[in-house]
Amino acid sequence: MFIKSLMVEGVGRFTSATHIDGFVGGVNVLAARNEAGKSTLFRAIRTCLFSRHDSKVQEIKDLGSDDSQLPATVQLTFVHNEHTYVIKKCFLRSPSATLTEDGREIARGKQADEAVWELLGLSPGSGRTLDDGAFGVLWVGQGASFRVPAPGAAASSVLNSAIESEVGALIGGERARQAVEDINTELRRYLTDTNRPKSDGPLHRAVQEVEHWQAAETEAQGKLFALEQQFTNLLQLRQRHQELTDPAATDQLAKELVEARVSLTDARSAAQEIRRFEAEESSAKRALEGASQRLKQLRDLTLRIDASRQSEAAQTKGLPEQQAREQEARAALLRTQEQLADIEKQAHGLSTQEQQLEKLAAASIRAMRKDDLARQLTALERASKELLQVDAQLTQIGIKPKQIEDLDELDRNIATLDAQLSASAAHLTIEVKPDGIGQVRIGSTQPEGAHSAPILAPIKITIGELAVVIVTPAPNVRHEERLSSGAERSVLLESIGVATSADARALLSKRRDLEASRKGVLTELKTLQVTGDPAPVIAKTKSDLAETDAAISAALTDTQRQSLPSGKEIEQEKFELSQKRAPLDARRASLEETRQQQQEALEGAVEVRSGSESTIKHIRKSIEDDTALCPDSERAARDVSLVTDVTTAETAHQTATTVLSAKRQTTPDAAEIERREVRSQRLEQALENRKNDLIQLEREIGRLTGHIQTAGGDGVGETLAAAREQRMLAERERSRIQERAATLQLLRDTVSNCLTEGREHYYEPVRKHLRPYLHDLFPGAELELGDDFAITGIKRDRTETFTRLSDGTQEQIAVLVRLAMASMLAERGQTVPVILDDALVYCDDDRIKLMFDALSRAGKHQQVIVLTCRLRTFAPLGGHTLRVQVPSEIG
């Protein structure tokens, strides 16, 4: 089939007759803007070919122009099997249909509808729908180009026929697919897609069942194990109980205890007896020691008495000699003391004379200082008087150097101002002629000869009686300043109390002279040791003078002299006294030494003598005391008696020692007693332990018995057996389902593999036709096809799932598959035009060129009609351009 022309009227926006002529074989491009009616034309072609002319379905209602009173008319001219056919159908109003072949009407109305279908090999189907066969695959409406071609039954049949003519039928494919689907349906009950047991599925339940019974079995096993353990423990406890309650063993233990206790009692009694014998031995020993001690004391006493008596005799014998020695020493000392007293008396006289000489010497010295004091007093009084005078004058002159400095400053300022005024002032020059002398007076001055002065202030010039000229200088600002300074100086001079600056300076000079004089007086006073007010110093000097006079007077009185001797005389007298004193001092020292020695000798003699007396007294007292204890008359008798006591005590002690020793040989020692105590305690403890063990054991037996009875009552053995069988059953069921699933998986995989292999072989013709188109865009790529020509993936460097490709690529591949199908059909004589309405919208510039190459390749075998709004993109790609001709253009 190949479309030649199309005419529409009352269709969509084409209210008047509109023609599209000039369709050619190969690629036809109808490029028009959006809403130009391209899709309307596409639907018009479909409706004209595949719909009954009298149909009132919505699709046809939608085809008509709005508010049009005309029928929707479509006329399609096409060539088929070398005949030209024109099918014209009017829809909605006055519906009609006519079909002409090579210009001859061959059918009308319903026959025309069906005749077209018959021509194109379409089946009207059982209902009102029409299976449009290959047209359904190759005519791609707006938006449909993205969908993978899914041929309908007729299209599939056509395609399958084409394939089977090349490679034969895919036998059993459908049954295999169904089988795989059925198996998968069952498998999905067992397993998830990741081969895990499906939640709540039979396998999952079986696994849970196994886990449940495993847990139950473990729990019951644990209980049974515990029960077993309890049985074992109970048996052991019962055996132990039997041992503990064995009367023979108990009797034996009790008997051992009695024996141990008796043995211990015996040992303790023996030990007590030993202690008594030990006490007796100790007592005898103490008695012996006492007797021996008393004998010894007696003998020591008698020996001491004898020794004391001998000592007393010796001391008494030496005592008179010691007393004579003491008397002699005492007399020598007395003599020496008398000589010393005489010497002391002489020395005292010399000392008195020496003291008088010292007083005279002192008075002489003070007499010599008396003149100095008198001179000093005079100088002090004079200087004091001068100071008072200068201070009185200084009080009169109050000028201060600062005032002179201020005055000098004012003078300098006034001089400067005067100089300035003078420089700028008029100059008065008067030459007084001799006749005029005395007549001319300038101010108060009477100049003679030439007189020249600047006029700084109004000057009154009196010329005798002739005239009084007053010269007034011109006003000058400095005048004010000058007057101010002058006034200031006047005030200052007045405060100083002088009339002129020279007076002031003279006054200051006078003050400075007075100050210099005062300084001199003060310096003089300072040399007189006066730093402040001289009056007290003067008073003290006067006092010193009076005191000196009194001292001299006293010295003369004391020495009974009329006048003070001279220094020389005093020194002579001192020398003479010293000549007397030297031998006197030597003698006194010698006597003092002698006295000291004699004193020591006396003390030694006294000490010896008193020591002897004391010793004798002490010995006598000792003898008195000792003889009181043991009179000489009783000495012998006592000695004999004590010797007898000692002998008796020795005998008694020896007897006690022998008895004790013999007893010790037969009595258990402390270690033995302790051992018997320990044994006795151990046996008592053993009996007690036995009793406690029995109580504990019976309690434990009771507890275990309770546990066992409880476990037995619970039927734990039966529970375990049941759980074990349930677990085994569950495991068998799980294994059965797992085996079933594995079997189904193996069967499914085997059938699937065989199906895939068959499908691969079956689809090879499709791939063969597709490959050139596909390689136009995707060099080296292969498509993977599923059931019913479904595209499942594309293999380039790797296999990619079709649905994960970009929308644009999916569309391009879908269009290429359609072209391949068209190509395959065309080879079998099924030339159906390929119509693409607004396809390839997502193609980039490079891809669109490649797609157009593919379209051009398809155009070699059949007609390709491209409806597009992409005017500029498609214009340069080639192909035959179609135009929509409105009536005016036709005209």
Partner 1 sequence: MRFIHTADWQIGKVFKQYGEKEEILRQARLAAIERLGELARKNSVQHILVAGDIYDNEAPNAITLRAPIERMKTFAEIHWHLLPGNHDPHRPEGVWDRVVQLGLPSHIHVHLTPTPVPLSDGAFLLPAPLLRKSEFDDLTAWMDSAATPAGALRIGLAHGAVINFASEGEATNPVDPARLAKANLDYLALGDWHRTLQIGPAVWYAGTPEPDRAGRQERGTALLVDISGPGAPVSVAPLTTGTYRWLTRTERLSDGSELADLDQRLRREQDLSRLILRLKLEGTLPLAAHAELQRRLVDLEAAVFHLDLDQTALVVRPTEGDLEAIDFDGVLRRSAERLKLMVDDPALSAETRRRAEDALIELYLRVVDQQQGKAA
Enumerate binding residues for partner 1 (CB under 8 A).
Answer: 170-173, 175-176, 179, 182, 224, 227, 231, 234-235, 238, 704-705, 708-709, 711-722, 725-726, 728-729, 739, 742-744, 746-747, 750-751, 753-755, 757-758
Tokens of 649: 């005590």
How far apart CA 21 and CA 29 sit, in angstroms, is 12
Q: Which residues of 262-294 are buried (b: 16+ CB within 10 A; e: fewer)?
A: ebbeebeebeeebeebeebbeebeebbeebeee
The residue among 430 and 754 lying less far from partner 1, judged by its C-beta, is: 754
The residue among 100 and 719 lying less far from partner 1, judged by its C-beta, is: 719
Relative to beta strand 459-463, strand 467-471 is: antiparallel
**Distance of closest approach, residue 30 Cβ to partner 1, in angstroms:** 46
The residue among 234 and 399 lying less far from partner 1, judged by its C-beta, is: 234
The residue among 106 and 747 lying less far from partner 1, judged by its C-beta, is: 747
**Distance of closest approach, residue 192 Cβ to partner 1, in angstroms:** 21
Residues 643, 295 contacting (CB under 8 angstroms): yes
Backbone φ and ψ for 69, nearest 5 degrees, come out as -90, -5
User: If you write DSSP's letter for every residue of 470-488 in order, what string do you get?
Assistant: EE-PPP-HHHHHHHHHHHH
**Distance of closest approach, residue 748 Cβ to partner 1, in angstroms:** 9
**Distance of closest approach, residue 707 Cβ to partner 1, in angstroms:** 9
**Distance of closest approach, residue 174 Cβ to partner 1, in angstroms:** 9
Residues 481, 415 contacting (CB under 8 angstroms): no
The residue among 171 and 279 lying less far from partner 1, judged by its C-beta, is: 171
Tokens of 758: 């068959």
User: If you write DSSP's letter for every residue of 283-334 in order, what string do you get?
Assistant: HHHHHHHHHHHHHHHHHHHHHHHHHHHHHHHHHHHHHHHHHHHHHHHHHHHH
Alpha helices in 397-431 (DSSP H): 401-424
Three-state DSSP state, 164: helix
Nearest to 817 by CA among 328, 145, 324, 270: 145
**Distance of closest approach, residue 126 Cβ to partner 1, in angstroms:** 22
**Distance of closest approach, residue 168 Cβ to partner 1, in angstroms:** 10
The residue among 129 and 696 lying less far from partner 1, judged by its C-beta, is: 696
The residue among 399 and 716 lying less far from partner 1, judged by its C-beta, is: 716
**Distance of closest approach, residue 782 Cβ to partner 1, in angstroms:** 22
How far apart CA 21 and CA 87 sit, in angstroms, is 15
The residue among 606 and 722 lying less far from partner 1, judged by its C-beta, is: 722
Residues 534, 383 contacting (CB under 8 angstroms): yes
- The secondary element (H helix, E strand) that includes residue 824 is helix 807-827
Query: Who's near 135: CB < 8 A, 6+ residues apart?
Result: 46, 49, 50, 120, 122, 832
**Distance of closest approach, residue 172 Cβ to partner 1, in angstroms:** 3
How far apart CA 791 and CA 799 sit, in angstroms, is 12
Q: How many CB atoms lie within 10 A of CB 832?
A: 25
**Distance of closest approach, residue 193 Cβ to partner 1, in angstroms:** 21
The residue among 59 and 739 lying less far from partner 1, judged by its C-beta, is: 739
The residue among 208 and 346 lying less far from partner 1, judged by its C-beta, is: 208
Tokens of 843: 């193609």
